Amino acid sequence: MLQSESELEISRILVEWYEIYKRELPWRETRDPYIIWISEIILQQTRVVQGLEYFLRFTERFPNVASLAAAEEDEVLKYWQGLGYYSRARNLHAAAKSIMERFNGVFPENYKEVLSLKGIGEYTAAAIVSFAWNQPYPVVDGNVYRVLSRLFAADTPIDTAKGKKQFAELAGMILDRKNAGAHNQAIMELGALRCVPKNPDCKVCPLKDKCMAFASGDAQAYPVKQNKTKTRDRYFHYLYIIYKGQTWMNRRAGKDIWTGLYEFPLIETDHAMDFSGLCETQSFRDLLGDAGTLSITQGLSNVKHTLSHQILYASFYQIEIERIPESLGNYLSLSCRDIEKYAVPRLIHIYLEKLNGNL
C-alpha cells in the first residue's frame, strides 16, 4: 500500500511524542511475546493503574507458557481474582496448553497462528506480533477508535461491520510499516493519556494541527456508536451457612457469569426482596427447611455490582444452623478457615473483607 508523506508524518509525530511522554511499564521493557500477551489480556477490561499489580503477581507465579499450562485451572482463577471477566483467564490457560501441544512450548510468531489461539482476536494478535517482532499489523482498540475517529472526523458507527472495516483501513493507512511496534504503542498511548473520552486535552495533543474534529471544535462527538448496550437487573441473595466451623460453597458452571469461580449457596429472585420475603420462597425452604433453628446476621444489603451487560443487587446473610440438611450434600463442604483458598468473584471477596474487618 502506497502511503503519502502526510500519512507517514502522522506516524512520525506520534512516535516522537510517545518517546517523550510514554508511561514506563514492565511489558514495554521486553520483546517476550508471552509477557506482552499477558499484559494485553489483562488490559482488555482493566485500566493500567489497576492492572499493574495483578500483572506483576500473575507473571511472578506464571513466568512463561510452560508454568501457566502446567497449573490447575483453580489456581489460575485464584491469581486472576479481582480482575473480573474470568473467561479471559480460562482462555489464557487453554491457549497456553495449546502452545505446548501445537508449537512445542514456543510462542508462535506467525500472525495467523497467534490469531488461532483461544481468546486472541485481531487486536491482540496485532499487538503481540508488532510489539514482539515489529510486524506491520495495525492495532485497533477503544483508544485507537477514538483517536482515528477524531483525527479524520469519521462518523461511521464503530460498533458496525462497516465501521470496523473503515477504521481498520484508516489504522493501516497511517501505520509506518518499518516502525509498527512503536507506532501502535504510540497511538494507543495517545488515546489513553490525551485523546480521552471526556474533556480531551486537545490543546497539547501532538496531532491537533491534523485533527479534523479539533478543527471543527467538536472532538467529543466522536467516536459514534450505533447501539447502546442493554443491561438487565439481577437480584442475588448469598447464604454464608455455618455449622461448627464448617461452611458450604458451589463452583459456578454453565455459560453464565463467573464460570469456574466459587460462591456461597445462592438464591436468585426476579425482584428486590428482604430476608423475610426470601424465607417465604420455595428455594429457601428447599435449602434450609430442615436445618432447625437459624441464627441470622445480615452482612451486606442490596450491594450494587455493575458488569458489562448486567447490574447485580446482592445481599449476604450469615446463617448458623442447628443441623446439616440433606440439601447441602449438593455443595462443597469446607472449613470456614479455608475459604480464602478458593477463587471467588470480586463481589464475594468484598463481603469477606468486610466480614474480616478489613474495610
CA 228 to chain centre: 19
Conformational region of residue 153, where left means phi above 0, alpha means psi within -120 to 50, and beta covers everything else: left
Determine what percent of the chain is predicted with pLDDT higher than 70: 97
What is the per-residue pLDDT across 74-88, written as a single tens digit (0 to 9) for each?
Answer: 999 999 998 888 999
Question: Checking DSSP bridges between strand 310-321 and strand 232-243, what pairing results, if any?
Answer: parallel
- Give the span between the Cα atoms of 123 and 138, in whole angstroms: 8
**70: CB partners within 8 A, 6+ apart:** none
Half-sphere CA count of 207, side-chain side, radius 13 A: 30
pLDDT at 308: 78
Q: With 90 as the cut, is the pLDDT of residue 151 above it?
A: yes
Q: Mean of the pLDDT values across residues 258-282?
A: 94
Q: Give pLDDT tens digits for 13-42.
A: 999 999 999 999 999 999 999 999 999 999
> Grid coordinates in use for 79?
491469581
pLDDT bracket for residue 358 (50, 70, 90): very low
SS3 state at 227: coil
User: Is 309 a residue whose pLDDT tops 90?
Assistant: no
| Residue 278: how many other CB atoms lie within 10 Å | 17
CATH topology of domain 232-356: Nucleoside Triphosphate Pyrophosphohydrolase (3.90.79)
Averaged pLDDT, 110-134: 97
Tell me, what's the pLDDT at 359?
41
Say what percent of the chain tops pLDDT 90: 84
Instruction: Please compute the mean of the pLDDT values over residues 50-60 and round it to a whole number.
Output: 95
Q: What is the largest CA-CA distance in the chain?
A: 80
DSSP 73: H
pLDDT at 97 over 70: yes
Contact call for residues 312 and 283 (beta carbons, < 8 A): no
326 is catalytic: no
The closest of 194, 149, 173 to 11, measured between CA atoms, is: 173
Q: What is the pLDDT of residues 181-236, one digit of tens each?
A: 999 999 999 999 999 999 998 999 999 999 999 998 889 999 999 877 778 999 99
What confidence tens digit (pLDDT) does each residue in 59-73 have?
999 999 999 999 999
CATH 1.10.340.30 in the chain, residue ranges: 5-216
Q: Can you tell me the distance from the alpha carbon of 200 to that of 180, in angstroms, rounded to the nearest whole number?
A: 25
Say what the pLDDT of residue 3 is: 59
For residues 109 and 306, the model is more confident at: 109
State yes or no: cis peptide before 108, omega within 30 of 0: no
Structurally, at CATH architecture level, domain 5-216 sits in Orthogonal Bundle (1.10)
- The confidence band for 283, taking pLDDT boundaries of 50, 70 and 90, is very high
Instruction: Let me know the angle formed at the C-alpha of 31 by 27 and 33, rounded to the nearest 5 degrees.
Output: 85
Mean pLDDT computed over 113-134: 97
Reduced to 3 DSSP states, what percent helix, strand and coil does the chain have, rounded to the nearest 5? Answer: 50, 15, 35
Q: What is the mean pLDDT of the chain?
A: 93
Q: How far apart are CA 301 and CA 83, in angstroms?
A: 23
Indicate whether 113 pLDDT > 90. yes
The label of the residue with cell 450469615 reads 318
Are 139 and 126 in contact by the 8 Å Cβ rule? The answer is yes
Domain with CATH 3.90.79.10 in the chain: 232-356
**What pTM does this model have?**
0.84
**Active-site option among 5, 24, 29, 40:** 40
Q: Is the pLDDT of residue 6 over 80?
A: no
